[in-house]
Amino acid sequence: MNTGVQNLSLEHWLAGARASAQQPPAQPRQPLVVNGQVVGSVADGFLEKISRLRLMDKHFKLSNEEHMGVPAWHVHVSHTASADATTQALNTLAADLRDTGLCGPWRDEQLAVTNPQGEVVATVERGAVRVLGIATRAVHLVGLAPDGRMWVQKRSMTKPNNPGLWDTLMGGMVSAADSLPQALARETWEEAGLRVEALQGLRHGGHVDFSRPSREGGGAGYMCERIDWFCAQVPGDVEPINQDGEVERFELLPLHTVREQVAQGQFTLEAGLVIAGFLGL
């Protein structure tokens, strides 16, 4: 395939991909408010489906009442409660959603919960962030060989999301315990067995924003995510080796092959948009 056809094909994919990454909710949503601060959103009627007994047992309250003139779901936590009570309340809500079958895959991993100013006010189980419309952060690494070819990974068939699709050298969530550089280092080791200190020319390349409906919670979820991506050169005498069982294999591909496969939909949407950013598209 000549370069002109490659670019046309990838640009055609890119137009659809960018539209797919920025979509309104599939159904009306109401703000999720904790202690007077909006931290997410939930589909209309969604929280009516769960039992509130566990929340009441923990001395938390879930109610539907106005916030700033619009209906909203409120998680009430006593102002005299301990500093981690907001986290406990949100995780209790997450457990209720899991027990009702309205949660994403449970990961036993805490992600940060932020207010509109970006300040962290609590943490919550990763499996609940989509159904609660809580904003998340992720990190990707574009890895190149000295000859300019790109390292890519094929996702394990046991992955809960996008099994078997191609991905960047590394892609993972920023957990509540991590800063962005810490997440980059941890995920690079876990997924590729590489130490960031050994990479050459490591730099922050940009970011990709997602706001789109999610299938989690029976289609009631909403994904709000910022993906920061980095790029670096992997030394020629080093090969990535997966450490956590989430990667089937790695391959080293010429950029024209990567372009073709992205345009054919063989990569995840997230990875495709990151790669497009790396290519300057």
Instruction: Kindly report, residue by residue over 125-146, the tens digit of the pLDDT.
Output: 999 999 999 999 999 999 999 9
High-pLDDT (> 70) share of the chain, %: 93
Q: pLDDT tens digits, residue range 134-180?
A: 999 999 999 999 999 999 999 999 888 889 999 999 999 999 999 99
Taken in order 179, 180, 185, 186, the sign of the CA dihedral is: positive
Residue 54 has pLDDT above 60, yes or no: yes
On average, the pLDDT of the chain sits at 92
**Domains in the chain with CATH codes:** 3-24+136-278 (3.90.79.10), 29-128 (3.30.750.160)
The span from the CA of 75 to the CA of 155, in Å, is 37
Query: Residue 55 is encoded by which pair of tokens?
Result: 């929340």
Q: How confident is the model at residue 7 (pLDDT cuts 50, 70, 90)?
A: low
